[in-house]
Amino acid sequence: MKAVIQRVTSASVAVADQIVGQIGPGIVVLLGVEKGDAEAQADWLVDKICGLRIFSDVDGKMNLALQDVGGSLLLISQFTLAGNCVKGKRPSFDTAASADEGKRLYDYFVTVAKRSGLPVETGIFQADMQVSLVNDGPVTFILER
């Protein structure tokens, strides 16, 4: 399971020109599910993301977590994170989970994130989404488990 996380001042996701998820300050999570992934990876990633100290304290140091700053999560499924671009010019998606398994684990990830008590917004699985965000910093991390 792979996640690209970005600290944002605001973000939204639209489907067919309709906003389906929107947050103010917080973290955008682009989540890719691969073959062999399980609930344990989702549990670890949610815990890591919610507790990761990537927000500035009064001294300007990254020392505060999402809950410390009253931030929100915007969770978006991102199939292309499973893409392998090493060979040729066309990405291979051989390691991507099936659509059914990807949806099951994405939905599980969303459920676990909502249990954190933080405000959670989402995109729509397998939809053609347009993501808008203002990356704060910019601060971006790649997490794999």
pLDDT digits (tens, 9 = 90+) for 66-76: 999 999 999 99
Active site residues: 78-80
In-domain check, residue 37: yes
Residue 88's pLDDT band (boundaries 50, 70, 90)? very high
- Domain of residue 103 covers 2-128
Q: Count of CB atoms within 10 A of residue 60's CB?
A: 7
Residue 144 lies in a domain: no
Considering the domain boundaries, does residue 141 fall inside one? no
Q: Does some domain include residue 139?
A: no
What are phi and psi for residue 130, nearest 5 degrees? -115, 120
- Answer whether residue 142 is part of any domain: no
Do 30 and 4 meet the contact criterion of CB atoms below 8 Å apart?
yes
